[in-house]
Chain A
Amino acid sequence: MAIPVSYNVRSVAARWTTTVVSVLGIAGTVGVFLAMLAMARGFQATLIASGSPDNVIVLRAGADTEMTSAVNLEQVRVIADAPEVARGEDGRPLLSPEVVVIGAFPLATTGTDANVQIRGVSDTVLQVRPKVELVEGRFFRPGLAELVVGRNAVTTYQGFTLGSTVEIGGLDWRVVGVFSTGGTAFDSEVWCDATLLNQTFSRPEGIFQSVTARLTSRAELGALEDRLTADPRLTVDVTGEQAYYAKQSEMVSTLIRALGFLVALVMAVGAVFGALNTMYSAVAARAREIATLRALGFGGGSVVASFVLESVLIALVGGAIGCLAVLPLNGFTAGTMNWQTFSHLAFAFQVTPALMVWGLAFAGFMGLVGGLLPALRAARMPVAAALREL
């Protein structure tokens, strides 16, 4: 026969101080665990959202990022001719050959330089990346030294507010617009005219770093890849844009996860110690009650179940507090260096319901481990001896 849960609840209420400590320990552990996962997730999501399933990115074979790639104008024309590349209303192929340069600009927070991606794009870019939305001002005019700046770049770096002038490569550029892509990696970038950017950096004309093309249908990815890699005029790798950006997030998110799991694991051990301490002292303090329960006819199994349940409930309360404490972090924007692109990237924490379920499960598990041994001790207590102490 099961011991009513109200017995546990009232017992906890009667000795709430030690319980609070155990609850706090578990809340802290779950909170940190979730915060780290939310950070890794946010970083990854920011990059994955940058890619569209309808787009492919073409890089020189063997290059793992745009930074190390080069594609020349003739190759761009070959890619543009592929039937899998979508056409705009005016019949022009929807692809954007792009140039990426990294410029050092001071961070708004510390004043120290951070690497900012400056992306030279072509005028078709708005059709290739329909997600791009102008928040303020207008888009740059081809051939003019004008910049449009990602929403996060405006706040993260100094000197990119609308209307200001920025010196890049000896040329003064005017910020004419602010764009948003809904929190993707592009929001940390600065965009301008590709040809002009190439000239400014006195790079050979007609050399781009990547070509982003829109597919006629997302099912055509394989066909385009086969066509381009088989073409003897090209030595390129064709990757779905989403897969490309997912890969860019690998290193940093792995690092955050590895550190997060490590720290959470260590803390979990500490929190379980705390829970054990609380439950052992609970069992010791309630020796007579337990003996009375046994004398009334509750079996050993019921006592074990009751104490484990109590421990798990305490842990779940801790877990819930931990989840709630982390909730305000949702959407919090942090910035870090993405080693893979060697540039600074702003991203938002993502606390999802699935993560919170994981957090609660983690808390429940800690409660289970912390409650089992004390519960067994409670069940094994000799009834007669304990009652004699009454």
Chain B
Amino acid sequence: MRFLPFVLRNLKRKKTRTLLTIGSIAVSLFLFGLLVAIESGLNAGVDVAGADRLVIRNRISLIQPLPLAYQQQLLQIPHVEQATFSSWFGAVYQDQRNFFPQFVIDTDTYREVFPEYEIPDEQWQAFLADREGAVVGRATADRFGWQLGDRIPLQGTIFPGTWELNIRAIYEGREAEADETQLWFHDAYLEERRRWGKGLVGWYTVKVDDPEHAVEVAAAIDERFSNSAWETTTETERAFAAGFAKQIGNIRLIVLSIGAVVMFTLLLVTGSAMATAVRERVPELGVLKTIGFGDTTVLGLVLAESVLIAVVGGGIGVVLAKLFTLGGDPTGGMLPTFHLGGDAMAAGLALSLVVGLLAGAIPAATAMRLEIVDALRRV
């Protein structure tokens, strides 16, 4: 700490370079934050999947429906505590670009299976009381400026016609990673109005009493419905979400690997700036050693400078990235979540610390090994 003013003074000497180097690191770490947010957005669902939940879909594919009658049969399978169903509604609000997911839900059981969504009780009751009511996530409500009580028209694509829904409740996720873009409404309303597919639902989600029974229950469910007209595939919710994320496939890998390469390049820029700074100051370092500063102190001084730059830059970058993610999804609703968690921010700071140490290591070692005679010769 005694040397802090000295380090700071050194940094102030070439203000432009110091600022630019801090800027480079800030940009790298900003990018790091951005990529983490994008990655978790593309991977959404996997992190928040409940370990005690199983998803049951038609064996052919998720598109094929399952009969409504399965709900009672699922409840009879041992260890199944609750079974709820949902269907994809897939309507368009004003323009196809305004995409957000809409589901038809079984209002009696849905919240019991998905307790992680927080809805004020009076809003939920208002939703239950209104057959044309809808629950919408905070992100989507904010995106379109919807308020409680608004009546919104949706253009059906699977189920033709205009569907008008009243916003009765707004849900928020208990965790920051939760998907707050969905809209839910009554299955009863769809069932009443649709002209085809009556008595069919999209998929079921069951809650088991203990995650340890998940595998056994999944096998029992598929066994129960095998050789029927509607065979099923049952997976844990996590496997289901992961399967979805994997379909996005290479794109994610490509985005991330490219980002990693570029971050490395930007870090190279920083390292080079550090090296230049030390090279320029060789004579001074010689003077320091002459007046009695030890090798390790000189090493520490150079390292401290580099680490300080890196951590300040990294801190700025991570904070900027956090602020950016708070501003919302830059793709206009195509990523279900866009969020930078505290642990990722900490990882970013740790990364910048490592970068500071690495970038400073070679110059600092050079400075340490410097012979006074050689250094002073350059004065």
Query: How far does the alpha carbon of A115 sit from the alpha carbon of B63 in the complex, in Å?
Result: 9
Chain B, 274-331, CB within 8 A of any chain A CB? 276, 330-331
Determine whether B24 belongs to the interface, using a CB cutoff of 8 Å to chain A.
yes
Determine whether A104 belongs to the interface, using a CB cutoff of 8 Å to chain B.
yes
Query: How far does the alpha carbon of A349 sit from the alpha carbon of B254 in the complex, in Å?
Result: 12
**CB–CB A277/B273 < 8 A:** yes
Quick one: CB contact mask for B228-251 with A, threshold 8 Å, 1 for yes?
A: 010101000000001110111111
23 cross-chain CB contacts under 8 A: A21-B269, A22-B269, A28-B266, A29-B262, A32-B261, A35-B258, A62-B156, A62-B157, A68-B90, A68-B157, A110-B249, A113-B243, A115-B63, A251-B334, A258-B331, A263-B258, A266-B34, A267-B27, A273-B27, A281-B17, A336-B248, A336-B249, A344-B249
**CB–CB B265/A25 < 8 A:** yes
Decide: A256 near B251, CB < 8 A? Known: A270-B24, A274-B24.
Answer: yes
3 shortest interchain CB distances as A-B pairs = A270-B27, A337-B247, A334-B250
Interface set of B (CB-CB < 8 Å, partner A): 16-17, 20-21, 23-24, 27-28, 30-31, 34-35, 38, 59-64, 90, 92, 96-97, 99, 155-158, 160-161, 196, 229, 231, 233, 242-244, 246-251, 254-255, 258-259, 261-262, 265-266, 268-269, 272-273, 276, 330-332, 334-335
Query: How far does the alpha carbon of A250 sit from the alpha carbon of B98 in the complex, in Å?
Result: 12
**CB–CB A267/B63 < 8 A:** no
Residues in chain A near residue B90, CB distance under 8 A: 68
Residues in chain A near residue B92, CB distance under 8 A: 64
Residues in chain A near residue B17, CB distance under 8 A: 277, 280-281
**CB–CB B266/A101 < 8 A:** no
Quick one: CB contact mask for A50-66 with B, threshold 8 Å, 1 for yes?
A: 00000000001111110
Query: How far does the alpha carbon of A170 sit from the alpha carbon of B226 in the complex, in Å?
Result: 11
**CB–CB B233/A104 < 8 A:** yes
Residues in chain B near residue A255, CB distance under 8 A: 331, 334-335
What is the number of residues of chain A that contact chain B, defined by CB distance less than 8 Å?
67
Residues in chain A near residue B266, CB distance under 8 A: 25, 28, 267, 270-271, 274
Determine whether A303 belongs to the interface, using a CB cutoff of 8 Å to chain B.
no
Decide: A24 near B250, CB < 8 A? Known: A269-B27, A270-B28.
Answer: no
**CB–CB A28/B265 < 8 A:** yes
Determine whether A375 belongs to the interface, using a CB cutoff of 8 Å to chain B.
no
Quick one: CB contact mask for A275-301 with B, threshold 8 Å, 1 for yes?
A: 011001100000000000000000000
**CB–CB A115/B62 < 8 A:** yes
**CB–CB B63/A101 < 8 A:** yes
Determine whether A107 belongs to the interface, using a CB cutoff of 8 Å to chain B.
yes
Chain A, 359-388, CB within 8 A of any chain B CB? none
Query: How far does the alpha carbon of A158 sit from the alpha carbon of B60 in the complex, in Å?
Result: 15
Determine whether A18 belongs to the interface, using a CB cutoff of 8 Å to chain B.
yes
Most buried by A among B21, B64, B96, B272: B272
Residues in chain A near residue B334, CB distance under 8 A: 251, 254-255, 258, 339
Contact with B160, one of A60, A250, A251 (Cβ below 8 angstroms): A60
**CB–CB B62/A104 < 8 A:** yes
**CB–CB B16/A280 < 8 A:** yes
B54 CB to closest chain A CB (Å) equals: 16
B27 CB to closest chain A CB (Å) equals: 4
Determine whether A114 belongs to the interface, using a CB cutoff of 8 Å to chain B.
yes
**CB–CB A336/B251 < 8 A:** yes
**CB–CB B332/A258 < 8 A:** yes
**CB–CB B21/A277 < 8 A:** yes
Residues in chain A near residue B155, CB distance under 8 A: 62
**CB–CB A110/B246 < 8 A:** yes
Determine whether A182 belongs to the interface, using a CB cutoff of 8 Å to chain B.
no
Determine whether A132 belongs to the interface, using a CB cutoff of 8 Å to chain B.
no
**CB–CB A39/B20 < 8 A:** no
Majority secondary structure, B binding face: helix
Query: How far does the alpha carbon of A324 sit from the alpha carbon of B371 in the complex, in Å?
Result: 44
**CB–CB B251/A64 < 8 A:** no
Determine whether A169 belongs to the interface, using a CB cutoff of 8 Å to chain B.
yes
Determine whether A102 belongs to the interface, using a CB cutoff of 8 Å to chain B.
yes
**CB–CB A61/B160 < 8 A:** yes
Determine whether A6 belongs to the interface, using a CB cutoff of 8 Å to chain B.
no
Residues in chain B near residue A259, CB distance under 8 A: 38, 255, 330-331
Query: How far does the alpha carbon of A262 sit from the alpha carbon of B255 in the complex, in Å?
Result: 12
Residues in chain A near residue B23, CB distance under 8 A: 269-270, 273
Decide: A169 near B269, CB < 8 A? Known: A251-B334, A256-B251, A334-B251.
Answer: no
A10 CB to closest chain B CB (Å) equals: 20
Residues in chain A near residue B273, CB distance under 8 A: 277
Residues in chain B near residue A61, CB distance under 8 A: 160
Determine whether A168 belongs to the interface, using a CB cutoff of 8 Å to chain B.
yes
Contact with B63, one of A17, A18, A25, A342 (Cβ below 8 angstroms): A342
For B320, the closest partner residue in chain A by CB is A266
Query: How far does the alpha carbon of A382 sit from the alpha carbon of B83 in the complex, in Å?
Result: 81
Query: How far does the alpha carbon of A247 sit from the alpha carbon of B99 in the complex, in Å?
Result: 14
**CB–CB B276/A281 < 8 A:** yes
Determine whether A88 belongs to the interface, using a CB cutoff of 8 Å to chain B.
no
Query: How far does the alpha carbon of A35 sit from the alpha carbon of B253 in the complex, in Å?
Result: 13
For A21, the closest partner residue in chain B by CB is B272
Given A68-B90, A101-B63, 20 more pairs with CB closer than 8 A:
A17-B272, A24-B268, A61-B160, A62-B156, A63-B158, A63-B160, A64-B92, A68-B157, A102-B62, A102-B63, A104-B233, A112-B247, A114-B246, A254-B97, A263-B259, A263-B262, A266-B34, A269-B23, A276-B20, A334-B251
Query: How far does the alpha carbon of A64 sit from the alpha carbon of B31 in the complex, in Å?
Result: 36
Contact with A24, one of B24, B246, B254, B265 (Cβ below 8 angstroms): B265
Decide: A28 near B262, CB < 8 A? Known: A104-B61, A112-B242, A334-B250.
Answer: yes
Query: How far does the alpha carbon of A385 sit from the alpha carbon of B334 in the complex, in Å?
Result: 59
**CB–CB B157/A64 < 8 A:** yes
Query: How far does the alpha carbon of A65 sit from the alpha carbon of B90 in the complex, in Å?
Result: 11
Query: How far does the alpha carbon of A70 sit from the alpha carbon of B335 in the complex, in Å?
Result: 30
Residues in chain A near residue B16, CB distance under 8 A: 276, 280
Determine whether A335 belongs to the interface, using a CB cutoff of 8 Å to chain B.
yes
For B41, the closest partner residue in chain A by CB is A259
A322 CB to closest chain B CB (Å) equals: 11
**CB–CB A277/B61 < 8 A:** no
Residues in chain A near residue B38, CB distance under 8 A: 259
Query: How far does the alpha carbon of A39 sit from the alpha carbon of B252 in the complex, in Å?
Result: 12
Decide: A25 near B269, CB < 8 A? Known: A266-B34, A342-B63.
Answer: yes
